[in-house]
Structure 1
Amino acid sequence: MAELARAAGVGVREVLGLALPGRSDRGNVRALLLGARIDTRNLEGFAETESLVLAGVGAAFVFRYGVLVLFGASAESERELIARLASHIVDPLAQPEVETASIEIRAEGEETVSADGHIRLREATRERLLLTATVLARSVVLGRDEGRIAEAFDRVEPLINDLRENGRAGMPIRRVMKNIGDVLSAQHRVVGRAQISEKPDLLWEHPALDRLYGRLEAEFELGDRARAMERKLEVIGDAAEWLLDLVQDKRSLRLELAVIVLIAFEVVLNLYQFWRL
């Protein structure tokens, strides 16, 4: 595996790259969500993307929000890179989430993205590969959180049904807080780390790639999926906060009843002592 020298400095970078061997003009693309985050400091062999020198479709990109994207990598190279990153992964997943596509370099014709995930580029430049990697990385993050949000809906729905049918919702406070935590965590990944709804900074320096990004973003439906997720997050968040208020009101009522009982006990005790005198 061809490697670059370690990136200078120990600062945190959002994305680092690595050139892989081979001069092929086509290959597979795999985006793997490995964990909540990847510490990009002091990664052996990875360098800043501006210094990458590529020869055809063969590259790896590591995104700080937990994703590894591979172009034209063999199964052996993939295993080796995952093992190299293992000590840098924060909260690793037991089984990585995977998004796949294929890529082809063809100098003539339009740069296109087909419905089956086949991406056609005019050149295998680092900017084009990085832009493609960014879209796939965001897509696999969305896929993971879409599943988690569906699970959150499944957890909240029985509680709402219980309230509708029985007029009460028996739920421990810790479980309510966990639901709120899941919502906040998903919002942080989508809006904060992965910045799904924002255009990549790369387009500011290379505006000619804006059309390619538009086609990639449209085919992988990043905007539509992000907006749908935001709406679902709002619904879950409102439901979780409402359930939390309900639980807190119930605890407040219990506390008030306990105070009343104590006051009543003290009154009875005082009356008893008075009559004994």
Structure 2
Amino acid sequence: MSQASASPLVAPRITARAFFVSERLNMSGLERGDVLATIPLAFRVNANGIAILFRYGVVVLIGLNALEEEEFLRGLEHRMTGKLARRDEEIAIIELAPEKEDQIPPGGPICLQSLSPDRLILIGEALAKSVVLARHEREVASVFDTTEPFARELARSGRMRGSRRSILQNIGNALLVRHRVSGPVEVGEKPDVLWDKPHLERLYARLEDEYELKERAESLNGKLAVIAESAQVLTDIIDTRRSLRLEVIIVLLILFEVLVTIYQLAMGRHS
């Protein structure tokens, strides 16, 4: 990882904002002379800003105003694969406090001893993971909302109403969300910058606690397991319905054959 030592940011209080813009960002050709880091790709923007880009579709912009942010994001649109119709955002206020340790007071800004690129990249990592988790949490919640009526009906009556098509749609929706959430974002993965700057591990641990990254990831994984089980249950119900139909058809065919045989025997006696 290549890294610059000096930060372009000079203001005592700045804003960092993470945007979840697409399923994938194409980073090829973005390497430049003012690069601050390569994994994730971070570089200077305008006079006092920093951009941090993640391949899984998140852009973190630090020290830019709203107009500059929108202009920068528009310039990336041709690099977005699977652009999201609804853009999720996560915001943090960063305050320069040279007399303090790196800390995050309750309800306050993120206080840093210096606005070094290493520290800002760690904040970008935390914001990027948090905004991805937020979107996935919402998607998983929507699956729970659609599967809950099926589960409630099954618990109440022991049967599940609904057509085969509606059940298959719920299975497909559950599997699609599970596939998206189990994507390229490893929340528990250690940021690359910490391998070179181990003294910043305490700051990142505080960021993890502030945004509850590990707890949210564990909760999400638990819900994904429930979604997988729900999809399996719905699949089993469809298979059971199909088996019952086949059994009914077989019984009716046997009954029909018996009736035909009885009729033929009766006609043979009369003749």
Q: TM-score range by the shorter chain?
A: 0.7 to 0.9
Secondary structure in 2 matching 1:70:
strand
Aligned to 1:4: none
Secondary structure in 2 matching 1:49:
strand
Is the aligned partner of 1:177 residue 2:171? yes
* Aligned residue among 4, 8, 26 for 2:13: 26
Which deviations, in whole Å up to 9, do the C-alpha atoms of 1:168-193 show, x marking residues without a partner?
1124342232243144225413xxx1
Is the aligned partner of 1:49 residue 2:40? no
Q: How much has 1:40 moved relative to structure 2?
A: 2.1
Query: Structure 2 CA distance, aligned partners of 1:38 and 1:251?
Result: 44
Call closer, same or farther: CA 1:122–1:218 in 2, change over 3 Å: same
- Unaligned stretches of 5+ in structure 2? none
Q: How much has 1:253 moved relative to structure 2?
A: 1.9
Within 5 Å, give how 1:254-269 maps onto structure 2: 254-265=245-256
Q: How much has 1:49 moved relative to structure 2?
A: 1.6
Is the aligned partner of 1:197 residue 2:184? no
**Aligned partners of 2:178 and 2:227 also within 8 Å:** no
Within 5 Å, give how 1:127-142 maps onto structure 2: 127-142=118-133
- Which amino acid is 1:34 matched to? V
Aligned to 1:6: none
Q: How many residues align?
A: 258
- Which amino acid is 1:181 matched to? L
Is the aligned partner of 1:100 residue 2:91? yes
Please give the TM-score of this superposition, normalised by the length of structure 1.
0.80
Aligned to 1:75: 66
Within 5 Å, give how 1:83-162 maps onto structure 2: 83-116=74-107, 118-162=109-153
Q: How much has 1:217 moved relative to structure 2?
A: 0.6
Call closer, same or farther: CA 1:37–1:269 in 2, change over 3 Å: farther
- Runs of 4+ that moved beyond 4 A: 19-22, 43-48, 50-57, 262-277
Secondary structure in 2 matching 1:198:
coil
Call closer, same or farther: CA 1:130–1:57 in 2, change over 3 Å: farther
Q: How much has 1:20 moved relative to structure 2?
A: 10
Aligned to 2:26: 39
- Unaligned stretches of 5+ in structure 1? 1-12
Secondary structure in 2 matching 1:128:
helix
Q: How much has 1:243 moved relative to structure 2?
A: 1.8
Aligned to 1:62: 53
Query: Structure 2 CA distance, aligned partners of 1:204 and 1:44?
Result: 22
Call closer, same or farther: CA 1:164–1:52 in 2, change over 3 Å: closer
Query: Structure 1 CA distance, aligned partners of 2:234 and 2:16?
Result: 43
* Aligned residue among 226, 239, 263 for 2:230: 239
- Which amino acid is 1:132 matched to? I
Please give the TM-score of this superposition, normalised by the length of structure 2.
0.82
**Aligned partners of 2:175 and 2:231 also within 8 Å:** no
Q: How much has 1:265 moved relative to structure 2?
A: 4.5
After TM superposition, the structure 1 stretch with the greater mean CA deviation from structure 2, 244-253 or 127-136, is: 244-253
Query: Structure 2 CA distance, aligned partners of 1:35 and 1:181?
Result: 20
**Aligned partners of 2:61 and 2:69 also within 8 Å:** yes
Call closer, same or farther: CA 1:184–1:114 in 2, change over 3 Å: same
Query: Structure 2 CA distance, aligned partners of 1:66 and 1:53?
Result: 17
